[in-house]
Structure 1
Amino acid sequence: MNYLAHLHIAEHTHTSLLGNFLGDFVKGNPDEKFNHKIVQGIRLHRFVDSYTDQHPLVKTSKLLFEKEIRRFSPIALDMFWDHCLAKHWHRFHDCSLEVFSQQAQRIVTDECKNSLHALPARFEKTSQLVWQGRWFEHYVDIKNIEFALQRIATRSPRMAPLASIFTTLEVNYQTLTGTFFELYPDVLEATLKAKEKETD
């Protein structure tokens, strides 16, 4: 799951949107860096990543990618799942994606202001780009996922294979969309159980 899903899951579980958004930007033990609510969100983000990566449906989906690029499939799939969530947003939320994005931006911004610790510079930059570029609303168009993957591919020679990985998503679009509709409700249920277990 990517940024949109993590923020939706944060709202779904009534946990910190900032913490769930921060998950990709904080390494190691977050306990001494942030307050309990943000730490809880970071840990839930990590749970989602681990749970999704080990899910049988995701493991099957990875096999759709050629061996030469399969190790990059988690990045492509995470972005594809966000595309599916954005495109079929009405199935998972009562308000529009635009309204959700605006509300999420306001909540995350407020949480940032109230944080007693400095936030990672890379997060600050990404967060600004997400809100200014209205990424989540643009996720609806699958071509923007292709553009994003190509942009990531330019970051380093190691990431270059991502430039061609979109073809696999395109060829298997219907299959992967069907997988999403099985996978995401399972993830939502698992996150609620994970939160309940933590608070017991």
Structure 2
Amino acid sequence: MNYLSHLFLSFENEPITIGNFIADFVKGKKYLDYPEGVQQGILIHREIDHYADNHPIFLDGKRRLAVDYRHYAGVIMDIYYDHFLAKNWSDYSNENLKDFCNRQYQLLHRHQTLLPDKCNYLLGYMESGDWLYNYQFIEGIQFALSGMSRRTSFTSGMERAVKNLTDDYERFEREFQLFFKEILSHIHNFTAQIKK
């Protein structure tokens, strides 16, 4: 799952949101250096990734994409699923997507001292391009995939993956809807357990 999904699956808890956002920049047991709520957010992020990477629907999508993109297939799936969350936002939230995105940027800015340097750098680019909001548009997905493709060490071809999405759009969207219903329930339960 990508940034929008991780932020949404923080369920409006500010420390968890921060942890969920920075988790990719905090390796191993370094998460123990953070306040308890942020630690929980990092663990939730890891659980989201683990759940997605082992879910049969997500795995099937990766398998189809791996024909063209090999080990980058999971990264592409993450972007696709953020697209469908943004596109169908009103199915999952009563808040306007633009308002949600702006609140997330503001929250992360207020707690910049907790963000690793690389994460702060990313936040600047994310906000200037309003990535979270623009995931709903095919052009936003193209921008994200092209940027990721430029940053990979090897030729990934990810900039071409919008065609895979549009060619099989209804299937990917239907799979996302089934998957997201299940991960919502799973992460609600997981969050309740670690907060005890």
**TM-score of the aligned structures, taking structure 1 as reference length:** 0.90
Equivalent in the alignment of 1:189: 185
Does residue 1:199 correspond to 2:195, yes or no? yes
Q: Which amino acid aligns with 1:35?
A: P
- Cα distance between partner residues in 1 of 2:13 and 2:172: 25
Does residue 1:153 correspond to 2:149, yes or no? yes
Equivalent in the alignment of 1:109: 109
Gaps of 5+ in 2: none
Gaps of 5+ in 1: none
**CA gap 1:25/1:185 in 2 versus in 1, 3 angstroms:** same
Does residue 1:163 correspond to 2:159, yes or no? yes
CA deviations on 1:87-143 (whole Å, 9 max, x unpaired) are 111111111001111111222222335x4xxx3221001111112221122111112
Percent of residue pairs identical: 26
Alignment of 1:13-162 (within 5 A): 16-113=16-113, 115=114, 119-162=115-158
- How many residues in Structure 1 have an aligned counterpart in Structure 2? 196
- Post-superposition, which runs of at least 4 consecutive aligned residues in structure 1 deviate over 3 A? 12-15
Q: Which amino acid aligns with 2:59?
A: K
- Cα distance between partner residues in 2 of 1:12 and 1:24: 20
- Cα distance between partner residues in 2 of 1:157 and 1:104: 30
For the 8 Å contact 2:32–2:39, the answer to whether it is kept is: no
- Cα distance between partner residues in 2 of 1:15 and 1:177: 31
RMSD of aligned Cα (Å): 1.8
CA deviations on 1:11-45 (whole Å, 9 max, x unpaired) are 25675211111112111113432111111101100
Report the alpha carbon displacement of residue 66 of structure 1 after superposing the two structures with TM.
4.7
